[in-house]
Amino acid sequence: MQNRTYRLAMIGFGSVGQGFVQILQRRADWINERYGVALSLVGVATRRAGGVSNPDGLDLAALLRAAEQHDMSQLDGTKTTDPQAFINQVEADVLVEVSSTDLDSGEPATSYIRTAFGRGMHVVTANKGPLALHGPTLLQEARAAGVQLGYEGTVMSGTPALRLGWSDLAGCELREARGILNGTTNYILTQMESGLSYAGALQEAQRLGYAETDPTGDVGGHDAAGKAVILANMLFDARLRPADVQRTGITGITSDDVAEARAAGERWKLIAHVQRDGDAVTASVQPMRLPVSHPLAGVGGATNAITFTTDLLGDVTLIGPGAGGVATGFALLSDILALP
Ligand code: HSE
């Protein structure tokens, strides 16, 4: 086994960034023993709480305490207030990009990623904006710069949906993908079945860290549409934009609708669908009533699922966590462990 060392610099320190640091705190020694990969977090920068870098590695426990207090000023190291300047200066091998998602502009994350490529850094990200808007282009830019772009966490958090489609099913033609790709809405629909109100269930999803900063992106189906675009463009060779996805969210689903479906032996699920049709690829997101016997109907809470329909294997289904700090932090780790 060839030993490798990666100095990591992180942009953003919300629930995903903190989940990743918690994993490093618990696992870095074990990862080094097991895989021969030494990981050292040498810097973190945020737009709101400032940032800090230290070439000897940051104190992870102190960093997590600082995140709770939204203040990095007490940490040992060089302070920074500008993430872009931080990427330009930090001496690191990998940029861990987990700043907040903007599915309309993809910024500032896309610029952060490009700056890192320009400095010869690999990038791992869970940020849907850059991938949904510029995925294939960013991948080409990474190749041209001789670095890797890891983006497993953009769809189904750490559950390896993209890796399954791209790598494990390589050699099959992917004809369709159908899935529950948004944890917040699946959690809300599941809680509504247990009698909770829509508003109460949404509040709980926010408290548990599943929802986006602005949860209208979840309940309106934008988040699932962004993920459908990532699947379409990165696995089905399409060139869709989020606006191309025919999209309906769950805001129109009432407690009465949920009860009516239940009485009929059915469940509401927000289903994202990507389909190849000749040379064209289309994508949609819409709430659907599925019989409880349907495999996707049994997927409850923030859990996600995807079924790939392939030519050689038929249907292949993957079920697993779709949101949450540690679950998405794991996706970043899996991308780092896959680096050359
Ligand atoms: N808000 C997203 C969800 C987070 O609920 O699925 C993971 O992308």
> pLDDT for 144-168, tens place per residue?
999 999 999 999 999 999 999 999 9
Residue 232: which of 181, 300, 288, 158 has the closest Cα?
Answer: 181
Half-sphere exposure (Cβ direction) of 85: Cα atoms closer than 13 Å: 10
Residue 110 beta carbon below 6 angstroms from any ligand 1 atom = no
Tell me the one-letter amino acid at 290. L
Q: For 223-282, what is each residue's pLDDT tens digit?
A: 999 999 999 999 999 999 999 999 999 999 999 999 999 999 999 999 999 999 988 999
Cβ neighbour number for residue 313 with a 10 Å cutoff? 11
Question: Which residue has the least CA distance to atom 7 on ligand 1?
Answer: 323
Instruction: Provide mean pLDDT across the span 15-40.
Output: 97
Check residue 281 and give its pLDDT. 98
Residue 223 beta carbon below 6 angstroms from any ligand 1 atom = yes
Mean pLDDT, the chain, whole residue set: 96
Residue 189: which of 60, 301, 266, 274 has the closest Cα?
Answer: 301
Residue 304: which of 192, 173, 180, 144 has the closest Cα?
Answer: 180
Residues with catalytic annotation? 227
Check residue 70 and give its pLDDT. 83
Q: What token pair was written down for 326? A: 């540690």
Of 125, 159, 184, which is best to mutate to test ligand 1, by the most ligand atoms within 8 angstroms of its C-beta?
184
Check residue 74 and give its pLDDT. 85
Residue 19 beta carbon below 6 angstroms from any ligand 1 atom = no
* pLDDT value at 1 more than 70: no
Check residue 165 and give its pLDDT. 98
Per-residue pLDDT band for 49 (boundaries 50, 70, 90) equals confident
Q: For 77-111, what is each residue's pLDDT tens digit?
A: 999 989 999 999 999 999 999 999 999 999 999 99
Per-residue pLDDT band for 73 (boundaries 50, 70, 90) equals confident
Across 115-129, 198-212, 280-294, least confident range = 198-212
* pLDDT value at 140 more than 90: yes
Check residue 264 and give its pLDDT. 97
Residue 152 beta carbon below 6 angstroms from any ligand 1 atom = no
The more confident residue out of 70 and 299 is 299
How far apart are alpha carbons 186 and 307 in whole angstroms?
16
How far apart are alpha carbons 17 and 31 in whole angstroms?
18
SS3 of residue 277 by DSSP: strand
Check residue 13 and give its pLDDT. 95
How far apart are alpha carbons 13 and 63 in whole angstroms?
10
Q: For 183-218, what is each residue's pLDDT tens digit?
A: 999 999 999 999 999 999 999 999 988 888 789 999
- Report the residue count for the chain: 340
pTM metric for this prediction = 0.96
Of 212, 328, 332, which is best to mutate to test ligand 1, by the most ligand atoms within 8 angstroms of its C-beta?
212
* pLDDT value at 313 more than 60: yes
* pLDDT value at 48 more than 70: yes
Extended strands (E) in 25-133 = 37-45, 51-53, 78-80, 94-97, 122-125
